[in-house]
Amino acid sequence: MSLAAVLLFATPALAVDPTGIPICDALLKRYEECSVELPRANIHAAQKELLEGAMSLRANASNPELRPSLEKFCADTFEAMKASSDIKACMSK
C-alpha cells in the first residue's frame, strides 16, 4: 500500500471517512483540504488514490498487529509531504 500514491486528489466536496487512527485521519483531512492546490491535470487520479488509500487504512485499522505500522506510515508520509510534495506549504500549516 502506498499512501504517497494515495495522496494526490482534489474535489473539496469529497470527504474521507475517518480511519480511527488519529495521525492517519489528520493526514487524509489535510491532504483533502490541500489537494485543490495540485495541478489540474493531477486532480482526478489523486482523488481516486486518496479514496482507495483511505479505504485500505480503514480496512486495516482494526487489526491490532497492523495498527502501529499504519500509524508510523501515516506519520512518515505526512512529514514527507510537508517537506517535498507539490503542496508542501499547505500540508505544513
Number of other residues whose CB lies within 10 A of the CB of residue 9: 27
| Terminal CA-CA length for the chain | 26
Residues present in the chain in total: 93
- Whether 28 contacts 19, CB under 8 Å: yes
pLDDT tens-digit map of 24-37 = 999 999 988 888 88
Rounded average pLDDT over 74-90: 94
For 30, the grid coordinates are 489535510
The residue type at 25? D
Q: What is the mean pLDDT of residues 5-23?
A: 64
What type of residue is 5?
A
What pLDDT shows up at residue 74? 95
Q: Please provide the average confidence, as pLDDT, over all residues in the chain.
A: 83
Return d(Cα 6, Cα 64) in angstroms, integer: 22
> Model's pTM, two decimal places?
0.80
